[in-house]
Amino acid sequence: MKEPRTAPCRRCGDKIVFLLNEKGKRVPCDPVGIDEADEYFDRDRHVRHFATCPNNAAKSRRMKK
């Protein structure tokens, strides 16, 4: 099991952790409540970073082609 990917948020600079959703896509999450063994996003335990980012999350989403 790999350690989840981390990066700074492009909008606010806070650290975010990417977990996989049920479709295999990466979900940006706040690192609070994430264990090293966590690989998949769980709505009951993890918080999406878009919900807590002080900047507008809609502006940081990529536009669909």
pLDDT of res. 11: 87
For residue 59, is it within any domain? Answer: no
For 28-46, what is the mean pLDDT? 92
Going by pLDDT thresholds of 50, 70 and 90, the confidence category of residue 8 is: very high
Longest dimension (CA), the chain: 35
Give the integer Cα–Cα distance in Å for 24 and 32: 21
For residue 61, is it within any domain? Answer: no
For residue 60, is it within any domain? Answer: no
For residue 43, is it within any domain? Answer: yes
Going by pLDDT thresholds of 50, 70 and 90, the confidence category of residue 63 is: low
For residue 18, is it within any domain? Answer: yes
Q: What is the phi/psi pair of residue 8, to 5°? A: -80, 145
For residue 63, is it within any domain? Answer: no
- Domains held by the chain: number: 1
For 11-31, what is the mean pLDDT? 94
E strand map for 2-62: 5-8, 15-20, 26-29
For residue 62, is it within any domain? Answer: no
Domain range for 15 is 5-54
Nearest one of 63, 65, 56, 64 to 10, comparing CA atoms: 56
